[in-house]
Amino acid sequence: MIKLKQNQTRTYDVEGFKRRAACLCFKDETENEVLLVSSSRHPDQWIVPGGGMEPDEEPCGAAVREVYEEAGVKGKLGRLLGMFEQNQDRKHRTYVYTLIVTETLEDWEDSVNIGRKRKWFKIDEAIEELQSHKPVHAEYLLRLADSCGPFRVYTPSTDSCPCTRVAENGASHCFVCSTQGSDLVNR
């Protein structure tokens, strides 16, 4: 199947990694249930919604756009869980955020164009589902246990997104999008 999109431009960082963004979409602030979508290549497998960043697009904007296109949901963007690298088949770096779903569309772009499905999973069920075919996506959920706790909402005060910094050299830092203006908090 061909996935039709207006802008098919791929963007890469200076080290040759494809720039990607994704969201762990939760039913509510308890973060007990996560929304997964069927893979476009393997419709019987579930994945975390996300995809490539467009030129000049901030990671948080790309994450929200990809969730809307692939899962047909809108919500409140939360904290950045981290930046995840994959070096095996395809080199890419993915910024992963949390998102609390506030609106679910009946029909959305990928459901109409490619027949994509979505399903709510308990966290442990989602990890088990992802570990067999998308272990890096399972890592996103495993990172939840190490993240900074309660959900915080990112409220933009300008056109730029403050959620793009990540820990360097694998250091264990959590960057939270604060509800108090647009300051990024390092905890």
List residues with catalytic annotation. Answer: 69
CB 85 within 8 A of CB 19: no
DSSP alpha helix (H) spans, 21-162: 59-71, 109-114, 123-131, 135-144
* Three-class secondary structure of residue 96 per DSSP: strand
CA separation for the pair 1, 139 (Å, rounded): 28
As a dihedral over the C-alpha atoms of residue 131, residue 29, residue 181, residue 95, rounded to 10 degrees, the angle is: 10
CB 168 within 8 A of CB 175: no
- 133-164 burial, b at 16+ Cβ within 10 Å, e below that, comes to ebeebbbbbeebeebbeebbbbebeeeebbbb
Best CA proximity match to 33, nearest among 119, 148, 139, 135: 119
